[in-house]
Amino acid sequence: MNDKIIELKNVSWVYQHSNKFALSNIDLSINRGEFILVMGKNGAGKSTFCRLLNGLIPHSIKGSLKGTVEIDGIFTKDSTVHEFSKKAGMVFDDASNQLFTTRVFDEVAFGLENLMVEPEIIIEKVNDALNAVGLSSFSDHHPLKLSGGQKQRLAIAAALAMADSILVMDEPESQLDPLGVQDVFSYIKKMHSNKGITIIMAVNFCEELIKYADRVIVLKNGALVAYDTPAEIFRNKNLLYDCGIHLPQICEFAHCMEDMGEPLPFFPLTVNEAFDSVLSWYKN
């Protein structure tokens, strides 16, 4: 039996002073250790969905919440953001807005200090988190002197130190150049593999990540329109076009083959899978 760590039941949310639901009738569950991508065009509800998972909604953001959000056995309506910070760490799209200390080590330690964690445990957690994102040698550096990718990894480390079981990221690639994106994504993949944490990541594009994702959530106008494996999601090009989601090049190639009446034996998500599928098609 799967170990559910996140469960949403009939969840709807409308922001204060709005007459339109930002999320509407969401029902889904996420298992412990899964890597979930959240996709949809701007305004689909990705950021709102992320803020459901760490208590910002409904406690820090004004509006009306219907339904239940359960995170690792705790209902968001019955808890505080402070309590949820121990369950789910949050990384926003612009890491610079999250950094405010003058030392990398202190940045990661700040949240733990507010939780009144014992000093020796703080040191251990900070070192573990910095090591996980490859910043252990930068502990005495000023955060604002780091590169864009390093700042984003520092924000991830700070979230990871606070809550090492769930990591929620809202478009962590949006402020980065291509090298920064590769830098951040490579460490996210390592963390997921090595630490087994549950990762929920809202993204605008996912070419680098779809092969690592267990499932993909697709949102449109606040509604959940699909929730399935990457292969099933990206096989459905009409769904993706309708939701304004960019097709990775490998998937575009597979659809082109299908449109020409020459479907590949299996739908590829990576270059290696495409090679194997084309080779099998050629032999047949």
**Which residue ranges make up each domain of the chain?**
4-235, 248-284
- Give pTM, 2 decimals: 0.89
Question: Is 4-235 a domain of CATH 3.30.470.10?
Answer: no
Report the pLDDT value the prediction gives residue 1, as an integer from 0 to 100.
44
Report the pLDDT value the prediction gives residue 205, as an integer from 0 to 100.
74
Report the pLDDT value the prediction gives residue 115, as an integer from 0 to 100.
82
Distance of alpha carbon 215 from the chain centroid: 11
Q: Give the Cβ contact number of residue 64 at 10 Å.
A: 12
| Alpha carbons 148 and 182: distance in angstroms, whole number | 12
Report the pLDDT value the prediction gives residue 94, as an integer from 0 to 100.
75
Q: Name the nearest CA neighbour of 155 among 89, 251, 242.
A: 89
In order along its 284 residues, the chain shows pLDDT tens digits of 468 999 999 999 999 999 899 999 999 999 999 999 999 998 999 999 999 998 889 999 999 999 999 999 889 888 887 777 788 888 887 777 778 889 999 999 998 888 888 999 999 999 988 988 889 999 999 998 988 888 888 988 888 888 778 999 888 877 677 777 777 777 788 778 877 889 999 988 777 778 889 999 999 999 999 999 999 999 999 999 999 998 888 999 999 999 999 999 999 998 899 999 999 999 88
Helices 178-195, 119-132: crossing angle, 10 deg rounding: 120
Distances (CA, A) of 84 to 44, 157, 168, 270: 25, 17, 12, 36
